[in-house]
Amino acid sequence: MEPREVRVTKKKKPYVVCDPCGIQLFVRGSAGIEAFTKLVERAGKDNLWTRLSKMEQTYHLKCPKCGGRFWAAPEQIQTSLFDGSFKGFACPKCGTTVEWERRA
């Protein structure tokens, strides 16, 4: 995940373009523009990009069997049939249980 440039439309409304995937995000409405502006200001002060990078490392898992990468999601939770304890997350490609590793 990399920071993107905030652009401004002809009508002075902010938007962001993700060049690798082609998605454009337009911010509309005075409340939305105000909230987005605050978020962008906080990103610089609170080092948001570093925090998001750490979060991605924690919740973006890699399957040891097929090598596929996926985001941990509640519907993929795998538990023990014996005692119901948490075992990990099911890989959406091959179904292998990927164990949860706590990372600091």
| DSSP letter string, the chain | ----PEEE-TTS-EEEEETTTTEEEE--SHHHHHHHHHHHHHHHHTTHHHHHHHHHHHHEEE-TTT--EEE--GGGEEE-TTT--EEEEE-TTT-PEEEP----
Q: How far apart are CA 98 and CA 89, in angstroms?
A: 5
CA distance 57 to 51: 10
Q: What is the pLDDT at residue 1? A: 56
Instruction: Look at residue 95 and tell me whether its pLDDT is greater than 80.
Output: yes
Is a pLDDT exceeding 80 seen at residue 87? yes
Task: Report, as an integer, the average pLDDT of 53-75.
Answer: 84
% residues pLDDT > 70 (the chain): 84
* pLDDT computed for residue 27 by the predictor: 94
- Per residue in 27-61, pLDDT (tens digit) is 999 999 999 988 888 776 767 767 777 776 668 88
